[in-house]
Chains A and B, each alone.
Chain A
Amino acid sequence: MARSAKIQWLNEIASLYKMLYKMQLASKSPILLACSGVGDLKIPRRKACRFDSGPGHQRKSIHISVTPQLDSTWLFTTLKLWAISDLHVGAEKNRRALSALSDFPDDWLILAGDVCERIEDLEWVFSLYQEIF
């Protein structure tokens, strides 16, 4: 399949998924999406946002990303926002754990300070996210 056609197809799948996700939220029951080449895809039920109350707390949109997998299936995920601080990667145990962390290629990460003391260590952490073309 040509690259542009593939992207278009992915966009269509993503918008379909988005629609189904909204239907699922409305119907309060899981929906199975069957699609040739994709296999049966169970849409994960997500908990509601844990905002306390007040204005502006409801989820406004759903961002879906579609990632090709090596076995020719497609991985559907919603974008996540993670946060951690005080990694203190100067300690061997902490450094090892960060190296071993799996990939979250679509997600965003907040590093809220005290990553380390040494510039070289901070560069090592930042290099985990370097873009290579």
Chain B
Amino acid sequence: MYVSVSRISNGFFLCIKKFSKVIWVPGNHELWLVTQEEQQRGSPWKYAALVALARKYGVVTPEDPWLTFPVTDHLIVPFFTLYDYSFRPANISRDQVVDWAMEENCVCTDEVAINAAPFDSIDDWSRQRCENTRMRLDNDLPTDARTILINHFPLREDLVQIPRIPRFSPWCGTKQTEDWHLRYRADIVVSGHLHVRGTKIRNHTRFEEVSLGYARQWDEAKGLKHYLRDLIF
């Protein structure tokens, strides 16, 4: 059903997939603990299980070697840095931030659906992800490589413009990634999470928010293709 197979004249079967290469990064929803087993083992365990699943299908994850996109020679760098509640006003402390969001009913379901154990908190998990990702990029990224960075969460606080739910920002990213587009020579940065599709430029880097969103947030009559962002055109 999902693989179209066409017969060519010399008798070979030619198998065509929907796409020739797929690169995936996790969002927060993938980390939600749905089954009893998941709830016992925690979200970091679930992430590892999802990476194993992706590899079974040949899907590229943040844990795999980077690919070069042959048309432009960009290095495609998927990563996963989560959030650490640092996208918040200066006068609100980390301890106050959930209550502050609760005042406007903006608390993210992650608070009950994600368990960062064995890490003490999502903040800690995020810190470890940032540290490891930065180390890998600093050590392994060729000095002349231009990149396309991919992360579910926006890299910069000034990209989080969500006027209807402004107090949702603590669950949207980490200030640790603020200058990564410069540091790692990105021409394009791809993210989602906000359900606010758009293109923004910061320091000559193009930031693409490519969300489809919940069922009510897009028009089925246009078809899914309308919502696929053509990054190189």
A residues sitting closer than 8 Å to B (CB atoms) are: 1, 3, 6, 46-47, 49-54, 56-57, 59-63, 68, 70, 72, 78-88, 91-94, 96-119, 122-123, 126-133
Contact = CB atoms under 8 A, between A and B. Distances in A.
A34 B229 CA distance: 32
Q: Select the residue from A96, A104, A108, A113 with max chain B CB neighbours within 10 A.
A: A113
Contacts of B9: 72
The size bracket of the interface on B is: 35 or more
A85 B26 CA distance: 10
Contacts of A50: 206, 233
B224 A112 contact: no
Given A54-B204, A86-B27, A129-B17, A117 B72 contact: no
Interface of B: 1-6, 8-10, 12, 14-30, 32, 34, 46, 49-50, 53-54, 56-59, 69-73, 76, 78, 113, 146, 148, 150-153, 185, 187, 190-193, 195, 201, 204-206, 208, 210-215, 220, 223-225, 227-233
Contacts of A57: 187
Nearest to B5: A132
Contact of B3 (A3, A117, A132): A132
Contact of B22 (A46, A118, A129): A129
Given A61-B73, A123-B53, 6 more contacts: A84-B211, A86-B193, A104-B18, A113-B25, A113-B27, A115-B29
A111 B57 contact: no
A109 B73 contact: no
B191 A52 contact: no
A114 B191 CA distance: 11
B146 A127 contact: no
The 7 closest A-B pairs by CB, nearest first: A85-B192, A113-B27, A113-B152, A114-B27, A126-B57, A105-B16, A86-B211
B79 to A, nearest CB: 11
